Amino acid sequence: MPAYAIAHLWDVDVNAEIVEYLERIDGTLAPFGGKFLVHGNPQRRGEGPESAIAIVIEFPDYQAVNDWYDSAAYQEILPLRLNNCSSVATLAPFCGEDHVATDVLKEVVSSD
């Protein structure tokens, strides 16, 4: 099942470090089968900062997305992004074709 790296970035300072990050990130994705699904503008924000953008990268499975994020290659360039924007990043597995919103309630109840 696929898995995803999902990021929300805002107040991005597009400078030499961000350009370097963008020039290098594709090379970090390739060994783990990562590919961009959502990246760049135009995007409509329903909520949150006006400058916010969403990024979604798909991986073959949850292990691959975690291995990519923890890889030396990605960790080497990560500060280039972190130092030049505000962001939240999440690594998440695919929830399944038949998932409905109330399925998350089963997880809450079973953890009590």
User: Which pLDDT tens digit goes with each residue over 59-68?
Assistant: 999 999 999 9
Tokens of 9: 């970035």
Select from 48, 57, 59, 67 the least CA-distant residue to 9: 48
Handedness of CA 20, 21, 22, 28 (dihedral sign): positive
Strands of the chain, DSSP E? 3-10, 35-38, 53-59, 86-93
pLDDT, tens digit (0-9, with 9 covering 90-100), for 12-24: 999 999 999 999 9
User: What are the structural domains of the chain?
Assistant: 3-110 (3.30.70.100)
Range scoring the smallest mean pLDDT among 30-34, 38-42, 93-97, 98-102:
38-42
Q: How far apart are CA 88 and CA 101, in angstroms?
A: 22
What is residue 31's DSSP assignment?
G
